[in-house]
Amino acid sequence: MRVAVIISSLLGWPLLQDLLAQGVVAGVAVPASGREETEQIHQWLTQAGMAPRRLSRAGLAEELTSWLTALQPTAALVLTFPWRIPAAVLAVPPQGFINVHFAALPDYRGPEPTFWQLRNGEAAGAVTAHRMEADFDTGPVLAATPVPIGPHDTHGLHRAQLALAAVATGRALLEALRTGAPGHPQDEAAARYWPRPSLADLCIVWQEPAEAIARLVRAANPWNRGALAALRGQPLRVLGATPRPETVDAAPGTVVLATPGQALLVACGAGQVLQLDMVALEEGFFTGGQLANLGIQPGEVLGTLPATAAAVLPQVQLT
C-alpha cells in the first residue's frame, strides 16, 4: 500500500514522519501558501530528499489529478489543508481521499475545533480519520483516537497532544485501508459545524462565570496571545487565569485585590472571582502581581475590548 499525503500544518508532522518511516508514502504535497509552518515542512522534506509538490489554489483540481495519476497511490491522506478538495478529484485514488481531522466527529466539524472544545469545557478531544465527501468533515469514520483535555491544558498543549496521538490514528487507518473497512457513518443528528473564531469570540465578557473565562483564556493561549480585555482603554491580553473559591459583592470586571508582587483578583459574573496569572500589554508580559506593581488599584474596572479596538489587533492563523 502506498499513500499520497497532503499537509499544511505541523499538526500532521508526527504522523507524516511515522508514515515515512513505514515506507508507505508515495509522495507529499503542500499548499503554495507561504505560511511559516508550511514552509518549514517543505524545507524539512526537501532536506530529507523528498521535495514536496507545491499546489496552487487556482487549477487545484487539474494539479491534483495530474499528481495522483503519476503517483498511483491507494489513497490520499489530508493532514490539514486550507482549501476544499474539489469533489471531482475525490475518486481519483482507488480508496479515495481520507481526512485526518483533529477533533471529535461529528460534534466538532470546522476549521478550528480545538479552540471550541477548550472553550466549551470538553473533557476530551480526538483525532479522527474519515473518508472525504463533498462537504467539509463529513464521510464515514475509519479510525479515531480520543485525547483527554486536562483542566489546565492550553490550546498549544492540547494541539501538541493531538499531533502525537495522530500517529496511533494513522496506524489504525492503514489497517482499515488494508482490510477494506467501510467505516462508520457519522450521526448527522449530532453534527455541528463550528466556524473559525472571530475577534468577538476572543473577547472576555466579565459577566460570564470565572470558569468560563478561564476556559476562554486557555483556548486562546498561545496562538492569539490570550483572551482580550481592556485596561484603561488599552488592549489587555490574558494568557493565564485561575478561578478562586471566594465570592465578592462587586460589579463584573472590578479589580477586587491588587497586591504588588503577589496577586490581582477580578470580579466576574455571579460574584465569582478570577485570579489573573499572566497578562500581556504592549510593554511586555507580566504576572498579575507585576501588573499590580504598575499601579493598578482595587476598584478599577477592566472592560470588554470595544469592537473598534479589536478590529486593529493582529490575529494569528491557527492552522
Kindly indicate the confidence band of residue 34, based on its pLDDT and cuts at 50, 70 and 90.
confident
Q: DSSP letter string over 267-311? A: E-GGGEEEEEEEEEETTEEEEHHHHHHTT--TT-B-BPPPHHHHT
C-alpha cell belonging to residue 189? 443528528
User: Computed over its alpha carbons, how large is the radius of gyration of the chain?
Assistant: 22
pLDDT for the residue 311: 47
Phi–psi pair at 184, nearest 5 degrees: -110, 125
Q: Which fold has domain 200-310?
A: Rossmann fold (3.40.50)
Mean pLDDT of 117-144: 98
Return the pLDDT at 318: 47
pLDDT of 319 above 50: no
Q: Which residue from 247, 254, 262 is spatially nearest to 298, judged by alpha carbons?
A: 254
Q: Which of 37-41, 136-140, 192-196, 292-296 has the lowest mean pLDDT?
A: 292-296
d(CA 277, CA 135): 42
**Comparing 26-30, 172-176, 209-213, 258-262, which segment has the lowest mean pLDDT?**
258-262
Quick check: 317 pLDDT over 50? no
Q: Quick one: which of 223, 232, 215, 220 has its CA closest to 282? A: 232
Place of cell 477586587: 256
CA distances from 173 to 159, 187, 231 (A): 20, 20, 49
How does pLDDT run across 244-253, given as a tens digit for each residue?
999 999 999 9
- Per DSSP, helices labelled H in 23-98 are 36-47, 60-71
Q: Supply the mean pLDDT for the chain.
A: 95
Helical H segments across the chain, by residue range: 13-22, 36-47, 60-71, 113-119, 155-179, 210-219, 288-293, 307-310
Cell numbers linked to 296: 493598578
Rounded mean pLDDT, 179-204? 97
pLDDT of residue 285: 96
Do the Cβ atoms of 15 and 167 come closer than 8 Å?
A: yes
Per-residue pLDDT tens for 45-90? 999 999 999 999 999 999 999 999 999 999 999 999 999 999 999 9
pLDDT number for residue 313: 52
Q: 305 falls in which pLDDT band (50, 70, 90)? A: confident
Q: Under CATH, which architecture does the 3-190 domain have?
A: 3-Layer(aba) Sandwich (3.40)
Residue 6 sits at φ, ψ, to 5 deg, of -115, 130
Percent residues over pLDDT 70 in the chain: 96
Alpha carbons 319 and 293: distance in angstroms, whole number: 37
* Averaged pLDDT for residues 199-208: 97
pTM, entire model = 0.93
Whole-number pLDDT of residue 309: 55
pLDDT at 33: 87
Per-domain boundaries in the chain:
3-190, 200-310
How far apart are the C-alpha atoms of 57 and 59, rounded to whole Å? 6
Q: Do 3-190 and 200-310 come out as alike in CATH topology? A: yes
Give the model confidence (pLDDT) of 268-289 as tens digits. Answer: 999 999 999 999 999 999 999 9
